[in-house]
A and B are shown apart, each in its own frame.
Chain A
Amino acid sequence: MTLQQSIMAEDERFAAAIRESNERRGLLMVNMIGSPGCGKTTILERTAQSSGLSFGVIEGDLATNRDAERLDRLGVPVVQVNTHGGCHLEANVIEKAMESLPLDSLDVLFVENVGNLVCPAEFDLGEDFKAALLSTPEGADKPLKYPYLFSSSKVVLLTKVDLLPYLPFDMKMFSEDVKKLNPEAPVIPMNGMTGEGVEEWTKLLREKIREKKAHAR
């Protein structure tokens, strides 16, 4: 007998419910995906310090509350989810975590996914878009090696650009590869130490927030 049902049907139901509730609120949701240590939390810290946006964060990590504590110190509403070995977050977990955040007073909800370039890209959390993060020491060859993440993201944040003078990072190849996979995604060069790039990142977020609020039901 034919069935033609998505393998992730149950997950997709949770993701759809999250999407609908965010649509009603006019709340933008961004899924931040990158390797461990690429600077996901640091970028969120800088965003908290200088964007003027009101946002909340769901932190996904295998263990510890360390990332949540860093954001909590800056006054960001944050929920830590520990996956205890799980390599990605799933929508049912996000739905639960959202209950402990003041969603009505937020412009953006960030999900900082478990550090990993593979599985997190596969699971729809109900987000408006994915942001792919790559730090320069990881190497310019990564987009083609992890094509699903880079082709399904709306924006690429290239972090630690202050290290470029010390690295054999082929910027031309990197930009061309991202363009091949995802012609419409902008690449934002960032430096979490100085805050470089946060302005451009904030501008992109503001644009998306405006669109989202305009469509709120």
Chain B
Amino acid sequence: MHEVSLAESIASSLISLKKERGWERVVEVRLRIGALRQVFPEILCFAFETVTKGTELEGAELSIEDVPISFRCRDCGGCWGGDDPLCPECGSMHRETVAGNELEIESLEVEEQT
């Protein structure tokens, strides 16, 4: 259930940003979450709705883009996606993760103060 911690973390960043930049309202928050992270999107959305209820962020919509896993082979440089731990080109197990670990607030839609 670390979705609640994540939701609190997002909310606290947004509240400081909102104050700092003088936004009227945060309309939408777009996240990018890698498939390797253990985040359950529906639970995160529910947690965000719950922690923002009654705050100045109430009503802000959370949308989540899933980022698939991608590996790069350290031996031949080939890239591949999915769960296969070995390089499909050369069979090497020396790999680095190039995508799938994301846990980012990608962008926001806000209403500026009038």
Which residues of the other chain, A, contact B2 by a CB distance below 8 angstroms?
87-88, 118-119, 122-123
Picked from A2, A9, A10, A122, the residue with its CB within 8 Å of the CB of B37 is: A122
Contact A2 B107 (CB under 8 A): yes
Nearest CB of B to A88, in Å: 6
Contact A183 B94 (CB under 8 A): yes
Which residues of the other chain, B, contact A151 by a CB distance below 8 angstroms?
36
Picked from B37, B106, B110, the residue with its CB within 8 Å of the CB of A148 is: B37
Contact A7 B10 (CB under 8 A): yes
- Indicate whether B50 reaches chain A with its CB closer than 8 angstroms: no
Q: Which of B1-58 contact A (CB under 8 A)?
A: 1-2, 5-6, 9-10, 12-13, 17, 31, 36-38
Contact A119 B13 (CB under 8 A): no
Q: Give the number of chain B interface residues (Cβ < 8 Å).
A: 26
Contact A122 B38 (CB under 8 A): yes
Picked from B1, B36, B93, B108, the residue with its CB within 8 Å of the CB of A1 is: B108
Which residues of the other chain, B, contact A179 by a CB distance below 8 angstroms?
93
CA distance A8 to B10 in the complex (A): 7
- Indicate whether A195 reaches chain B with its CB closer than 8 angstroms: no
Nearest CB of B to A106, in Å: 28
Contact A1 B106 (CB under 8 A): no
Closest B residue to A119 by beta carbon equals B2
Contact B38 A8 (CB under 8 A): no
Q: Give the number of chain A interface residues (Cβ < 8 Å).
A: 26
Contact B106 A7 (CB under 8 A): no
> Known contacts being A2-B106, A118-B38, is A183 close to B6, with CB within 8 Å?
no
Contact A3 B105 (CB under 8 A): yes
- Indicate whether A6 reaches chain B with its CB closer than 8 angstroms: yes
CA distance A6 to B17 in the complex (A): 14
B 83-114 binary contact with A (CB < 8 Å = 1; else 0): 00110000001110000000111111110000
Which residues of the other chain, A, contact B103 by a CB distance below 8 angstroms?
6-8
Picked from B9, B107, B108, the residue with its CB within 8 Å of the CB of A7 is: B9
Pairs across A and B, CB under 8 Å, 25 listed: A1-B110, A2-B106, A4-B104, A4-B107, A6-B105, A7-B9, A7-B10, A7-B31, A7-B104, A8-B6, A9-B13, A10-B12, A87-B2, A88-B2, A119-B1, A119-B5, A121-B38, A122-B38, A123-B2, A123-B5, A148-B36, A179-B93, A180-B86, A180-B93, A183-B85
- Additional A-B contact list (17), CB under 8 Å, known A7-B10, A9-B9: A1-B109, A1-B110, A3-B106, A5-B13, A6-B105, A7-B6, A7-B9, A7-B103, A8-B9, A87-B2, A118-B38, A119-B1, A121-B38, A148-B36, A148-B38, A180-B85, A183-B94
A interface list, Cβ under 8 A from B:
1-11, 87-88, 90, 118-119, 121-123, 147-148, 151, 179-181, 183
The 4 A-B pairs of least Cβ separation, nearest first, read: A180-B85, A119-B2, A183-B93, A2-B107
